[in-house]
Amino acid sequence: MLAVAALAGIAVWQAPAASASVPLQYTTNRYVGSAVAASYLASEPDYRAVLTREFDNVTPENEMKWGTIEAVRGQYDWSGADAIVRYAQQHHKTVRGHTLVWHSQLPDWVAALPADELRRVLRDHITTEVKRYKGKIRAWDVVNEIFNEDGTRRDTVFRQKLGDGFVADVFRWAHAADPHATLYINDYNIEGLNPKSDAVYELVKTLRKQGVPIGGVGIQAHLSTQYGFPDGYRANLARFAKLGVDAAITEADVRIPTPPDAAKLATQASYFGELWDGCQSVRRCVEFTTWGFTDRHSWVPDVFPGEGAACLFDENLRPKPAYFRINP
């Protein structure tokens, strides 16, 4: 940033501000969150400080998944999930539970069960986990990524063995375990109007008609600047709201080709800005959560070689242009 020094009219380079004057969480009446990892929360004081300052919702990135909680049948590891929930309570932050039913990070022993046993075990898994944190989780991602890109159902072990009806069942079981948590369906590539978001829309409509306790649609929003901003994003948010459910941006990040430069960061900022402004424009869009907040820790480079730098803060926890676009 170029600032003109008052003294002697000398032009000097001034480092960008370390943070905005008002932390992001106080700039809107939406929940503003980030995915977090219990390990970094415990070992990196600067990570913890920025999280605490800027956000008022946390989503455990991996700690509440079945593969973490019960990798071996009957042997539970709640340590990471408990630590994040404890942190949230101490710092008056809400928690988005992530995620109860997902085909990925699913222990092999679960996938191998015969249908009748799978149904019992699934019910028990949901009941045990939701009850453990009853009253401490604002919203749960109950089912995650159950559709293909063309809008057909993903052929998971749950579908193969239990049929499509498992979706209504798991929402009912979760609701019985904590009636006050808002229960979401969550997916990626459903930001805009397309066959996949159409399928989510139709399913939510049907489930609502059947009285199934679904309260929200989670839009992950893992975007890449090389594919353009999703068409019909605001119209899509609006149509979900019209069904009488909440919408949430649950996993936002915007990856760019690495290394970053000023132009790429500006494009990234415009994507984050559109995502943010769209959510602010729809009353039922109640949450804006990013999938991690620092380029120091992000799933992106591992999965998309050549892309990265997808977060609001850089590796040194300095806010990037995208941050200043949504918190000028």
- Tell me how far apart the alpha carbons of residues 200 and 151 are, in angstroms, rounded to a whole number: 8
Q: Using alpha carbons only, give the angle 73, 129, 299 rounded to the nearest 5 degrees.
A: 85
- Tell me how far apart the alpha carbons of residues 224 and 281 are, in angstroms, rounded to a whole number: 23
> 173, 184, 299, 323: which one contacts ligand G3I (CB under 6 A)?
299
The identity of residue 262, as a single letter, is A
- Of 201 and 299, nearer to ligand G3I (C-beta) is 299
Task: Classify burial at 306, counting beta carbons within 10 Å of its beta carbon; exposed 0-12, middle 13-18, buried 19 or more.
Answer: exposed
- Tell me how far apart the alpha carbons of residues 119 and 166 are, in angstroms, rounded to a whole number: 8
> 27, 28, 52, 105: which one contacts ligand G3I (CB under 6 A)?
105
Site for ligand G3I in 9-28 (CB under 6 A): none
- Tell me how far apart the alpha carbons of residues 249 and 242 are, in angstroms, rounded to a whole number: 17
- Of 293 and 327, nearer to ligand G3I (C-beta) is 293
Both structure tokens of 218: 């989670």
- Tell me how far apart the alpha carbons of residues 58 and 3 are, in angstroms, rounded to a whole number: 36
- Of 56 and 61, nearer to ligand G3I (C-beta) is 61
Spell out the residues 6+ positions from residue 101 whose beta carbon is closer than 8 angstroms to its own.
122, 126, 142, 143, 144, 158, 166, 170
The identity of residue 1, as a single letter, is M
- Are 271 and 225 in contact by the 8 Å Cβ rule? The answer is yes
> 43, 104, 152, 210: which one contacts ligand G3I (CB under 6 A)?
104
Q: Does 61 bind ligand G3I (CB under 6 A)?
A: yes
- Catalytically active residues, by annotation: 145, 251
Q: Does 224 bind ligand G3I (CB under 6 A)?
A: no
- Of 174 and 300, nearer to ligand G3I (C-beta) is 300
- Tell me how far apart the alpha carbons of residues 313 and 269 are, in angstroms, rounded to a whole number: 12
Q: Number of residues interacting with ligand G3I: please give it, by CB under 6 A.
A: 9
Radius of gyration of the chain (CA): 20
Site for ligand G3I in 198-217 (CB under 6 A): none
> 129, 251, 274, 287: which one contacts ligand G3I (CB under 6 A)?
251
Element (H, E) at 222: strand 222-224
- Are 258 and 309 in contact by the 8 Å Cβ rule? The answer is yes
- Of 35 and 212, nearer to ligand G3I (C-beta) is 35
CB of 26 to ligand G3I, least distance (A): 27
> 28, 62, 148, 224: which one contacts ligand G3I (CB under 6 A)?
62
Residue nearest to ligand G3I (CB): 299
Q: Does 43 bind ligand G3I (CB under 6 A)?
A: no
Report which of 43, 47, 40 is spatially closest to residue 63, judged by C-alpha positions: 40
Q: Does 220 bind ligand G3I (CB under 6 A)?
A: yes
Which residues of this chain interact with ligand G3I, rule CB under 6 A? Answer: 61-62, 104-105, 144, 188, 220, 251, 299
